[in-house]
Amino acid sequence: DGGITQSPKYLFRKEGQNVTLSCEQNLNHDAMYWYRQDPGQGLRLIYYSQIVNDFQKGDIAEGYSVSREKKESFPLTVTSAQKNPTAFYLCASCIDRNSYNEQFFGPGTRLTVL
Amino acid sequence: RKEVEQDPGPFNVPEGATVAFNCTYSNSASQSFFWYRQDCRKEPKLLMSVYSSGNEDGRFTAQLNRASQYISLLIRDSKLSDSATYLCVVPHQAGTALIFGKGTTLSVSS
């Protein structure tokens, strides 16, 4: 089955630690995105990548980093510089990097900082 | 005007009711619009795309009013399974990313 996967589903980390969230897709999609969702809030764009080896900052990139070494993978690192990292993190992909189309989401990772 | 704005609700309706949600957007150049559905603690999933004046899919109808910059979603004959949060989505200026509204919560009761 084609799809987009994220792991882990739940993640706990201590303050001051970096943590990496995994996102993998086997849909052969060019574009991938990371969003963050806080309770009662809309999704906010962290980073996006329209092609391998290229990525761009979104609206709230501070304290985060990404890489796109393979088309299938777009991991997100939440660094200790992120002031309020507890949130629901959603990864998405889209078949076309040149037009607005349906974005397919992974099941998300709930990060809690203790 | 905010980039995308929705009435958060909640909308509490009985089964069989017709309910409508509105969403306003600020970028008059936007050409593509979407409604996503998000169940509690789950990922959003596409419900409908709106590229012209409107779109209809079964009990769901989406309409676009470019002059007033709003999009609406109409749900007829509401089912218990329609209970969810409905997200209004417009294009972002960053690549082909999207801007998601905060969502409108619908609760359908028997």
Of the ranges A75-84, B5-14, B32-41, B72-81, the best mean pLDDT one:
B72-81
* CA gap A75, A53 in Å, rounded: 12
Is B96 within 8 Å of A98 (Cβ atoms)?
Answer: yes
pLDDT at A87: 96
- Strand-pair partners of A75: none
Mean pLDDT for chain B overall? 92
Task: Compare CB distances from B94 to A48, A96, A102 and report the shortest one's residue.
Answer: A48
Q: How close is the nearest chain B Cα to the Cα of A17, in Å?
A: 25
pLDDT at A1: 64
Residue of chain A whose alpha carbon sits nearest to that of B34: A102
Stretches in chain A below the pLDDT threshold 50? none
Highest mean pLDDT among A79-88, B63-72, B74-83: B74-83
pLDDT at B84: 96
Residue with tokens 């088309």: A71
Q: Report CB contact under 8 Å: A43, B44.
A: yes
Q: Which residues of B touch A106 (CB under 8 A)?
A: 43
| Candidates B25, B31, B43, B71, partner chain A, best to mutate (most A CBs within 10 A) | B43
* pLDDT of residue B44 exceeding 80: yes
Give, in order, the Cα–Cα distances in Å from A58 to each of A14, A34, A35, A65, B2: 25, 9, 9, 11, 17
Hey, are the CB atoms on A108 and B44 less than 8 Å from each other? no
Of B95, B99, B100, the CB nearest to A31: B95
B72 contacts B20 by C-beta, under 8 angstroms: yes
Residue B18 reports pLDDT greater than 70: yes
What pLDDT is attached to residue B52?
A: 81
* Rounded mean pLDDT, B30-37: 92
CB pairs < 8 Å spanning A and B: 60
How high is the pLDDT of residue B14? 97
Sorting pLDDT into bands at 50, 70 and 90, what band is B7?
A: confident
Among B32, B43, B92, beta carbon nearest to A90: B43
| Res. B54: pLDDT tops 80 | yes
